[in-house]
Amino acid sequence: MNCRGHETRQRIVRDFEVQPKVHIKLLANQQKHSDAVATIEDEYYVFIAESKIDGKKEVIQCCMGAARDFLELINHKGLPLFNPLVGDSHVNNRQEYDNTGSGNL
């Protein structure tokens, strides 16, 4: 789902229930496409957006700038950063973090 620009993200939050699902660190030299029309090279968020009208679900994958904006718009503190190179046996028992990824496990 295209999420480029603050006004687009405001419209998405108005029309969809938006929930962050994961905050991921990419491996070295890995890249992903952002739905905010950028190339992700470091870390990113995946959100699920469920239509308030028909319940249809869509996935939003975006870079940190767009993710921070979504988190602010939905008043969410953010999720911990999942780094595939750092093991954490409690990843499924996660706590909410602020939108910079800071917090205590």
pLDDT at position 99 is 55
Domain spans of the chain, in order of start:
6-84
pLDDT of residue 105: 37
Q: What is the pLDDT of residue 104?
A: 43
SS3 state of residue 73:
helix
> What are the E-state strand segments in 1-105?
16-25, 32-34, 38-40, 43-51, 57-63, 81-82
Mean pLDDT of each 10-residue bin along the chain, 105 residues long? 97 99 96 94 97 98 97 98 76 52 47
